[in-house]
Amino acid sequence: MVDPLLDELDRARDGAMHDIVETIQREQLRLVTEQPGGVLIVQGGPGTGKTAVGLHRVTWLLDNNHRAAGDVLVLGPNRSFLNYVGTVLPQLGTRGVTLLELPALWSAADASRDAHPVAVVKSDLRMAAVLRNAVDSHITSSADRLEALVDGPVFTFELNRREVVIPVAELANLAAASMGGNSPYRVRRERCVQQMTEHLTQAYIRTLPGPADTDYFDQVRKLRPVTRLLKRICPELSAPDVLRGLMASPARMTSAADGILSVAEQTSSSPTAQGPPASTAPRAARIWCASTNWRTSW
């Protein structure tokens, strides 16, 4: 029995995209016509028709008004691939789609490249733990550090002419508990802000002569002393800024990578060891490090 799909895949790949409509199989058709509703991943070995399915799907989405051509972006590994795609799509009746090489998505497109050993370290899975330490270094949850920040062993705020005084050690314990765990920083920060504000709100309610007549949570959260306290305990962080600070400071790298990377690996990641950068843009390896490892920390 002759399988038309196998016959098509066995044909010499002469650089021209063969229209797969005539040889479409059930699974390929399902992928091409899958209703939009999330991420669709097409996996397969070389020559199994991934690109053909993807390009036919783009055409199907546009022809069935699921997307407008201006809303579609096709990313490719290099210009040759995009030239290839740019020839095929018009043959399928599709025009107006944006084609970009992957590096064009970030500012590192023209940046210098790290040496291979350095790039290997930066893209190593261990860097996820280093990044986690770098993020957590911005957290203040020890009583000593908080006392230094609030100038004393107690934290005080006032609402509706009522003064509330809370021991810093009490807040430090709450901060350490809410910012602990393995969740991403944003999740832990949101939890800390919620729990800390609720704790302060309850402390205020206890000063009232009777039952609370309203929910004071939002009022407490907006108080300047409270916003300053939360900013010191769990500041809002920018992923690029934390990553840039880590890579630019040998001291920060040493602190974050202690027990994770060897001294040689830490030194090789230092900008002083790599020489002056050819561009002010972040090195491409740093961007790759962020994209592969940052999700576990951020």
**pLDDT in tens for each of the 298 residues of the chain?**
444 444 544 544 444 444 545 555 777 888 888 887 778 888 888 878 888 889 999 999 999 988 888 888 999 888 889 999 999 999 888 998 989 888 777 755 555 677 888 888 888 889 889 999 999 999 999 999 999 999 999 999 999 999 999 999 999 999 999 999 888 898 999 999 999 999 999 999 999 998 888 889 999 999 999 999 999 999 999 888 888 888 888 899 999 999 999 999 888 876 555 554 444 444 544 544 444 444 445 5
- DSSP H stretches of helix in 11-64: 26-32, 50-63
Q: Are residues 101 and 27 both part of a single domain?
A: yes
Q: What is the pLDDT of residue 70?
A: 85
Q: Are residues 121 and 149 both part of a single domain?
A: no
Its domain, for residue 145, covers: 140-233
Q: Residue 136 corresponds to which tokens in the numbers above?
A: 């957590």
Residues paired with residue 158 on neighbouring β-strands, in sequence order = 163
Looking at 185, 213, 233, the residue that finishes a domain is 233
Instruction: Count the Cβ atoms, other than its own, within 10 Å of residue 43.
Output: 6
Q: Are residues 206 and 94 both part of a single domain?
A: no
- From residue 253, how far is each of 20, 48, 92, 279, 294 by CA, in Å? 52, 44, 51, 21, 16
Q: Are residues 246 and 124 both part of a single domain?
A: yes
Looking at 54, 86, 105, the residue that finishes a domain is 105
Q: Are residues 9 and 82 both part of a single domain?
A: yes
Q: Are residues 201 and 269 both part of a single domain?
A: no
Indicate if the alpha-carbon torsion angle 54, 55, 58, 60 is positive or negative.
Answer: negative
Q: Are residues 51 and 124 both part of a single domain?
A: no
Q: What is the pLDDT of residue 22?
A: 52
Give the Cα separation of 149 and 93 in Å (integer).
Answer: 64
Query: DSSP label at 81?
Result: H
Q: Are residues 158 and 214 both part of a single domain?
A: yes
Rg (CA), the chain: 28
- DSSP H stretches of helix in the chain: 4-10, 26-32, 50-63, 79-91, 116-122, 126-136, 143-150, 168-178, 185-205, 217-222, 224-233, 239-248, 250-257, 263-269, 271-274, 284-293
Give the Cα separation of 54 and 32 in Å (integer).
Answer: 7
Q: Are residues 115 and 178 both part of a single domain?
A: no
Give the Cα separation of 108 and 243 in Å (integer).
Answer: 14
Q: Are residues 248 and 129 both part of a single domain?
A: yes
Q: What is the pLDDT of residue 114?
A: 75
Q: What is the pLDDT of residue 257?
A: 93
Q: Are residues 154 and 227 both part of a single domain?
A: yes
Number of domains in the chain: 3
Q: Report the predicted TM-score, pTM, of the whole model to 2 decimal places.
A: 0.58
Give the Cα separation of 211 and 218 in Å (integer).
Answer: 18
Q: Are residues 126 and 150 both part of a single domain?
A: no
245 burial (CB, 10 Å; 0-12 / 13-18 / 19+) is middle
15 burial (CB, 10 Å; 0-12 / 13-18 / 19+) is exposed
Indicate if the alpha-carbon torsion angle 57, 58, 59, 62 is positive or negative.
Answer: positive
- Exposure string over 80-119, b if 16+ CB within 10 A, otherwise e: eebebbeebbeebebeebebeeebeebebeebeebeeebb
Looking at 212, 233, 254, the residue that finishes a domain is 233
Q: What is the pLDDT of residue 111?
A: 58
